[in-house]
A = this chain, B = another copy of it.
């Protein structure tokens, strides 16, 4: 397994130099999140991830979770690492102080989760799902529910899950079969079977709090008839301690391609006691409020695994000796040159680097929006942040996982045959990454959400909220002595993005299939343009620092070189996505379904 070193310098570059987090933390009243405090937290988090989680990553993959008669055992060391995590207070880092949390900004929680995901994605699923459940309870639970559940989850004594999918429906939650029957005491009897429940059963916590989508007996059909319930594994005792076992059981765990140390459970509810959370029949809305956060988290898995893979690939490329550089030996004292001398190896490494650092910028910008959506001073600022979040979230989820998967595959390719061997750990990163384009809403669903619901659904308003930012940036930098050519390139693409949107919008008025036909390529096009914007923002800072005579010239020059690479070699992919997005639905819909097999 490649060693993981948290990219603290790059994180600080974005936080302090590109996005001015100190100012935005001050603006949301996060007085505790001083630069020193943030630095100290990141360093502590890095230590935990590098020293505790990373060493368990490959062994976790080899051992997998074990299932025996309803009991799930996580791999060696996982439970102890979780105890350390809880002990360190990490679970409550960004949680509400009213329920025991430290109340630090959400973005800081995401930075920690980046390091966790890069060092051990499987392990990160356990606290990750708990955070998701916590945010749903925080947003929609009653005060009593918060006191009972949220406080214990914040402490890390209880963990959480989200139980949505059933065997016959994943995307289409309108057709779930799990039923909730009202009981005399105000609780509900929940019956049904849920699948793909991450962290659904394990040995890390004393209780597991399932958030379950189910239908009331009189519920309307479809998604407007779904309610959300809290169904704990153990019922809370009168004093809030762990009481009787509820009729919730783990039927089996899945054997998967990757994230093998994350328990993916079938959870059976057999007239289990559940408690309605939020309003009846509004369960899907409750889920949606937490989805921005969860989808950004999933997008970050692409970044995490791309980063881990890059670190391994760069190290290997500097050590592996194979062939001579075409321009003559670079290490004449050795039997061959390190493969990093070869242009095609550099193409792979720079592709990874450009995606990782670009995606990190996108993720942090989005994380900053999450802070603002929660806590900006004015309602207007909060709404503006919400709008940008709504637009960027599906792009984060899908673009970052598509490109993250590409990055992990490239990292493996750099290793040649050794990349295919488990021992080296590079193929695990590909397998672990492969789920990210699928779960938390497939990337196809993200694309529909982006183009159909967000962009066209708002008559372009959400899109303009972002393209205006890019437009202003390009106007301001149009004469930048070093960057003006790239600024012009971005400005052109930004304009084209609007034109493409209009074109699809017009076509979609006649034929709704035009949205689905264009959506995935539209999303990828958008992602490449957005990354170009963030690469220029980073390049701008780097130019300024170099002009000011920084003593970290190499760091800033590497940023400029990677930006140059991105514009020359990756951004042209927009042309292919544009053509495909403009191609219309006929070439997809003309073949009758039964003729696909011919």
Which A residues lie at the B interface, using CB under 8 A? 9, 165, 168-172, 175, 195-196, 254-258, 311, 314-315, 317-318, 321-323, 325-327, 335-336, 338, 340-350, 353, 405, 409, 412-413, 416-417, 419-423, 427, 430-431, 434-435, 437-439, 442-444, 447-448, 511-513, 515-517, 519-521, 554-555, 557-558, 561-562, 564-565, 568-570, 572-576, 578-580, 583-585, 587-598
| Contact status A322-B171, CB under 8 Å | yes
Shortest C-beta distance, A397 to chain B (Å), equals 14
Q: Which residues of chain B have C-beta atoms less than 8 A from A572's C-beta?
A: 575-576, 578-580
Q: Which residues of chain B have C-beta atoms less than 8 A from A558's C-beta?
A: 591, 595-596, 598
Known interface pairs A420-B258, A421-B256; A335-B434 also in contact (CB < 8 Å): no
Instruction: Report 28 cross-chain contacts, Cβ distance below 8 Å, ordered by A residue.
Output: A9-B598, A170-B322, A171-B322, A172-B323, A172-B336, A196-B417, A257-B420, A257-B422, A326-B516, A327-B511, A340-B596, A342-B516, A343-B517, A343-B589, A344-B448, A344-B519, A346-B589, A346-B591, A347-B517, A353-B596, A417-B439, A420-B434, A420-B435, A430-B434, A431-B431, A561-B590, A568-B584, A575-B576
Closest Cβ neighbor of A344 among chain B residues: B444
| Contact status B438-A417, CB under 8 Å | yes
| Contact status B422-A256, CB under 8 Å | yes
Known interface pairs A171-B322, A255-B422, A587-B565; A444-B336 also in contact (CB < 8 Å): no
A512–B341 alpha-carbon span in the complex (Å): 12
Closest Cβ neighbor of A556 among chain B residues: B598
Q: Which residues of chain B have C-beta atoms less than 8 A from A554's C-beta?
A: 592, 595, 598
| Contact status A323-B171, CB under 8 Å | yes
Known interface pairs A416-B442, A442-B413; A349-B175 also in contact (CB < 8 Å): no
A565–B591 alpha-carbon span in the complex (Å): 10
| Contact status B593-A340, CB under 8 Å | yes
| Contact status B595-A580, CB under 8 Å | no
From the candidates B338, B423, B565, name the one contacting A588 in the complex (CB within 8 A).
B565
Q: Which residues of chain B have C-beta atoms less than 8 A from A335's C-beta?
A: 175
A583–B430 alpha-carbon span in the complex (Å): 28
Known interface pairs A168-B321, A569-B583; A438-B422 also in contact (CB < 8 Å): no
Q: Which residues of chain B have C-beta atoms less than 8 A from A596's C-beta?
A: 314, 317-318, 340, 349, 353, 558
From the candidates B256, B573, B588, name the one contacting A347 in the complex (CB within 8 A).
B588
From the candidates B311, B421, B593, B595, name the one contacting A557 in the complex (CB within 8 A).
B595
Known interface pairs A335-B175, A413-B437, A520-B344; A587-B575 also in contact (CB < 8 Å): no
| Contact status A585-B413, CB under 8 Å | no
Q: Ordered nearest first, which 4 A-B pairs have the shortest CB separation?
A: A572-B579, A343-B516, A257-B427, A326-B512
Shortest C-beta distance, A492 to chain B (Å), equals 14
| Contact status A420-B444, CB under 8 Å | no
Known interface pairs A419-B438, A420-B256, A427-B257; A575-B568 also in contact (CB < 8 Å): no
| Contact status A165-B417, CB under 8 Å | yes
A594–B405 alpha-carbon span in the complex (Å): 25
Q: Which residues of chain B have C-beta atoms less than 8 A from A437's C-beta?
A: 413
Q: Which residues of chain B have C-beta atoms less than 8 A from A430's C-beta?
A: 257, 434
Closest Cβ neighbor of A315 among chain B residues: B597
Q: Which residues of chain B have C-beta atoms less than 8 A from A409's C-beta?
A: 405, 434
Q: Which residues of chain B have C-beta atoms less than 8 A from A342's C-beta?
A: 444, 516
Q: Which residues of chain B have C-beta atoms less than 8 A from A196's C-beta?
A: 417
